[in-house]
Amino acid sequence: MQTGFAYTKFADRLASIAELAKSDLDLLARMPLAIRHFASHDKILHQGDRPSCCCLLLRGYVCWRDADSGSGQISSIHVAGDIPDIQLLGWPRAEADLSTLGAAVVAFVPHSFFQEAASLSPNLSRAFSLLSLADAALLRNWIINLGSRDSLTRVAHLICEIAVRLSAVGQARDYRFPSPFTQSDLAAACGISAVHANRIIQELRRRRLLLWQSKTISILDWRALVHLAEFNPDYLRLRGSKPIEFRQPLTPFAADAPAASASQ
């Protein structure tokens, strides 16, 4: 995987929340990095770590997990193009574990690059700040999701969120995308048991809202899923975001197809 791929992913993410000039993109193209591959459920950062680099996610999904809870509660999930630990630029101490969800590829970029780029470009300085603010807004919404929505709505809302965030960086074509979850991961993200998580997946499938097969999620009825989830993407702070419409269902729904479930 080449440096140019990392640049493209990061540029796509920044462009989704801020306007950048050609000079900003030229500056990003000089980003120093080291690329590493991780297996499923590897820890990238441990609680208490004081890293000197930020993690730019290039492929796969990562999450913040509570290192102190027995359930391994997930407090956020990040997609390609995200820098899940950008807040450590201001306070360089990890307060949870940063772990992979499935195999992932991560570019490690020195903190000094972000500091220098911010000093040279007001646009990039603003974009980095917006990334951090978007993460804070994401966390607030997750608190609402866990605190005031029932379990079916929680799961539907999380799937809507992942779909929109992936779409913003060109990763959810036709609203079909690799699932970021095992059954246990979904449970940890939504504060429910793994058994209940599987029942909810079956209920969403029964309602003909999505298919979840072979580690791939296909959304069949976006508007109905959004309605069920009470989902409003404004908190994601995406530039020029528009309501998503489907011309037709993604795949025919087969009533006699085997039940889909997330992997353990």
Both 94 and 155 in one domain: the answer is no
Cα torsion for 239, 240, 246, 251, to the nearest 10°?
Answer: -20
Task: Indicate whether 104 and 162 sit together in one domain.
Answer: no
- Report residue 233 as tokens: 């993407």
In a domain? residue 255:
no
Which three-class secondary structure string do you get for 42-75? CEEECCCCCCCEEEEEEEEEEEEECCCCCCCCEE
User: Are 26 and 107 in the same domain?
Assistant: yes
Pairing status of strand 74-78 against strand 53-65:
antiparallel
The Cα–Cα gap between 80 and 164 comes to 12
Q: Does residue 260 lie within any of the structural domains? A: no
Per-residue pLDDT of the chain (264 residues; tens, 9 = 90+): 455 677 788 888 998 899 999 999 999 999 999 999 999 999 999 999 999 999 999 999 999 998 776 668 898 999 999 999 999 998 889 999 999 999 999 999 999 999 999 999 999 999 999 999 988 888 888 888 888 889 999 999 999 999 999 988 888 878 889 888 888 899 999 999 999 999 999 999 999 999 988 789 999 999 999 999 999 998 888 876 544 544 444 443 333 333 344 444
Residues 220 and 100 in one domain: no
Residues 117 and 15 in one domain: yes
pLDDT of residue 231: 93
Residue 127, both tokens: 């974009």
Identify the CATH number of the domain in which residue 109 sits: 2.60.120.10
Q: Which of 88, 108, 140 is the last residue of a domain?
A: 140
Count structural domains, the chain: 2
Q: Are residues 136 and 156 in the same domain?
A: no
Q: Do 29 and 136 belong to one domain?
A: yes
pTM for the structure as a whole: 0.85
Are 213 and 261 within 8 A, CB to CB?
no
CATH number at residue 181: 1.10.10.10
Residue ranges making up the domain that contains 135: 3-140
Q: Do 102 and 170 lie in a common domain?
A: no
- What would the two tokens of residue 124 be? 């990039």
Shared domain for 73 and 126, answered yes or no, is yes
